[in-house]
Chain A
Amino acid sequence: MPRIGVFVCWCGSNIGGVLDCPAIAQEAASFPGVVYSTEYKYVCSDPGQKLIVDAVKEHRLERVVVASCSPRLHEETFRQVLRRSGLNPYFFEMANLREHCSWVHPDTTVREQAQRKAVDLVRRAVAKAARLEPLFPGKIPVVRRCLVIGGGIAGIQTALDVADAGLEVLLVEREPTIGGNMVKLDKTFPTLDCSACISTPKMVAVAQHPNIRLYTYAQVEEVTGYIGNFKARIRQKARYVDHSKCNGCGTCWTRCPVTVPDDFNLGLGERGAIYIPFPQAVPNKPVIDLEHCRRSTRGKCGACAKLCPTGAIDYEQKDEFVDVEVGAIIVATGYGLFPWEKVYGEYGYGRFRDVITGLMFERMVNASGPTGGKIQRPSSGKEPKTVVFIQCVGSRDEARGKEYCSRFCCMYTAKHAHQILEKIPGSEVYVFYIDVRTFGKGYEEFYRRVRDEGAVYIRGRVSKVYQDGSKLIVRGADTLLGEQVEIAADMVVLATGAVPAAGAADVARMIGIPQDKDGFFQEAHPKLRPVETHTGGVYLAGTCQGPKDIPDTVSQASGAAAKVCGLLLRDELETNPLVSKVNEALCTGCLACQPVCPYRAIQPVTITERLPGQPPRERVVARVNEGLCQGCGACTVACRAGAIDLKGFTNKQLIAEVDALCL
């Protein structure tokens, strides 16, 4: 029996305020194998760690148990302490007294039960610790290349930062241009600097960067592998324009006879079937929308092919696949808008043309937008004199929308209000709000300025919007005055909340990132690991993780880039030693384990067996590739002969844990 040391942590009053830590330590001293047992206020602190190092020396400890918080928080911290103490870092086990005991059983009425539970949890940890084996991580080489999925401002920033560090970057964007949502915006709050002026130079920098390979109009279809060694398959959708020949002269898209509503401008403008999304698009070369192209719908036209001076049009182009190897993946798939038309009948389900979304307003007020920057009613083209803004459309509405706050809507509405008051003399602006949230630097000052400029803020919900002649009547409540309000408006702008981008669930499944209850990607820790995921080598940037404004998005993107650099600038990676192992003496070679493995880590090998007094004979056994195995343990249960075990979670250890808990 190895010599075990137990350290019970008070975690200040988090554990110590509920459980009797000295009593736990005292009881633990009687568990089999325990030669030393003590308690301390904060075991994870510097003096707490020293306590372990010293005790290992003084009491010749061979295994260490810390009874404190969740191993998901501090297991790695304490493994490092063991390393410093000269022990194998995997001679360590934790009992979770905080998250699983003191925090959930704080009442004095269940104190005795909680105390008993805590002792049981420590007994379990000691039982496992007694059966721990030394484990040694292997080394694998790292592919020094990073895949960035999504070419919005988050993807752009993160790609530039990684590329500037000297690493190769593959940036994949599904639209024909990079730029994402930010490039659609007109001005950005609170400084009112032009969004295009600050984002288009970055787009150009991406296109020209020697370390960045850009795939637009492309999608990642498949990801396999693991941290440091991923394989990805990129589908380059057919553009029907050979970009190696095209010089972007623009003859084709100005002469295309087809007109379709323009999705970049959210249907406010029109484009041809061959088009670039907007004049500053990167790459500045067109794609053909075959669904609307006259040559494909009616079988004749071909105007673009005839006009193209370089012969770049290729109607027969097919989707192509590119297989790449990367060491890390940054997911920056961004956000979409809450589908308010499906839910909010009181705003007309999208029937009224003069009820528009905030993003549509951005396109309208944008000098490069469909109206050339003129604010006008979509129904008549006339300048609106009275504009009503409605906040929290889809956000903060548990019943029909989302529970969360989308964070940026209060501020963009304030900016819209400012733009209307500035551009339309004599205009009136009303904003219906629940609360105004101005959390960022300079935001509150901006909001106050807009109120001073004359925007009328009404605290309350809108109950109905209806057409009356050429006007939209907005009926709502002013909850501060306790009155009904009715405003005859020319235009209504909805502050639609943010939701995960379309297809986020597919990306999550493909890469293996958990999603939170709203479909945003789940970070590894809400405070301390905000850009990492629980899948090693996969990082998050921007609004795919949750609604964010531009400064926060850019910061997170740079954070993710720093993490990737930290990973890829190493020569080798340590592999996780908690992997499956086949006992070849027991393995019958049935390979029932092989199809169970999601990582194709199990392969048959032929071994030569030499038994005493018998001629050597060959037989097939299963073997686990430790580089591919992720340590789920599904194979261990599938094995009929009981030949596979999972290191760190062995059958022996788990059964000892069960026994210890059922005493």
Chain B
Amino acid sequence: MSVNESDVVTTAEGAAWEPKIVAFLCNWCSYAGADLAGVSRIKYPANVRIIRVPCSSRVNPQFVFRAFERGADGVLVAGCHPGDCHYVTGNYYTRRRLTLFKRLLEYVGFEPERFIVRWVSASEGQRFAETVKEMVDGLKHLGPQKRVSRV
């Protein structure tokens, strides 16, 4: 997939283009980790929009695809570290399902940077902020997602 240079720099209105990331965070670890980033005043780019789910295993790949379809440039799913799931085994399902889903996305032409699954614990505010930074940097390099976007 080639990236058009003009897409990377500006939008139609001429403002600098900013990627839009939808993040699904589990309530117990990653959402709390994002809260901790706030409490610790760790700055990160304002490109991420968070949706709270009870467990990362609640994230249906359908939701991820829906986000891409509606014009998200990147999707992040974050949950507790394997072994630390609040619901004992939920994130093991997340890991299996979303590994497969990520492969499917890559197979149909999505760049791997567009869809990230990351384990962020409630004490890892810094890690959450770094994950967002890393994603934003990657997406800025790739430019807008146009593969399935209807927008």
Contact = CB atoms under 8 A, between A and B. Distances in A.
Nearest to A651: B60
Contacts of A113: 18, 46-47
Given A634-B93, A637-B93, A107 B43 contact: yes
A117 B49 contact: yes
Contacts of B71: 662
Contact of A658 (B22, B42, B124): B22
Nearest to A633: B58
A630 interface: yes
A514 B29 contact: yes
A98 B39 CA distance: 9
Contacts of B27: 72
B29 A598 contact: no
Interface string B56-98: 0111111100110011100000001001101111100100010
A658 B35 contact: no
B151 interface: yes
Contacts, number: 149
B93 A124 contact: no
B70 A99 contact: no
Interface of B: 18, 20, 22, 27-29, 31-32, 34-35, 37-39, 41-47, 49-55, 57-63, 66-67, 70-72, 80, 83-84, 86-90, 93, 97, 121-124, 129, 151
Contacts of B39: 99, 103
A184 to B, nearest CB: 31
A124 B72 CA distance: 14
A72 B35 contact: yes
A423 interface: no
Nearest to A576: B54
B22 A637 contact: no
21 contacts: A96-B50, A99-B34, A100-B34, A104-B37, A105-B43, A106-B43, A120-B49, A121-B49, A124-B51, A509-B83, A522-B123, A631-B54, A632-B90, A633-B57, A634-B89, A634-B93, A649-B58, A655-B63, A658-B72, A661-B20, A662-B22
Interface residues on A, range: 35 or more
A517 B50 CA distance: 24
Interface string A63-105: 0000000111000000000000000000000001011110111
B63 A658 contact: yes
Interface in A253-308: none
A638 B54 contact: no
Contacts of B63: 654-655, 658
Contacts of B55: 632-634
Given A72-B35, A103-B41, A658-B66, A636 B50 contact: no
A514 B46 contact: no
Contacts of B45: 110
Contact of B46 (A114, A654, A661): A114
Query: Which of A98, A517, A637, A638 counts the most B-chain CB atoms under 10 A from its CB?
Result: A637
A659 interface: yes
A615 to B, nearest CB: 37
Contacts of B44: 104
A123 to B, nearest CB: 9
A634 B57 contact: yes
A186 interface: no
A645 to B, nearest CB: 11
A104 B42 contact: yes
Given A632-B90, A654-B53, A646 B42 contact: no
Interface in A634-654: 634, 636-638, 646, 649, 651, 654
A514 B86 contact: yes
Nearest to A639: B60
Contact of B51 (A512, A534, A654): A654
Contacts of B83: 509
A70 B35 contact: yes
A364 to B, nearest CB: 38
A657 interface: yes
B38 A516 contact: no
Nearest to B15: A112
B88 A646 contact: no
Contacts of A515: 84
B43 to A, nearest CB: 6
Residue in A517, A535, A631, A661 whose Cβ sees the most chain B Cβ within 10 Å:
A661
A105 B46 CA distance: 7
Nearest to B28: A534
B60 A101 contact: no
Nearest to A94: B52
Contacts of B151: 662
A234 B55 CA distance: 30
B86 A517 contact: no
Given A104-B41, A637-B60, A662-B72, 8 more contacts: A99-B34, A512-B88, A517-B124, A598-B87, A632-B58, A633-B54, A633-B57, A657-B51
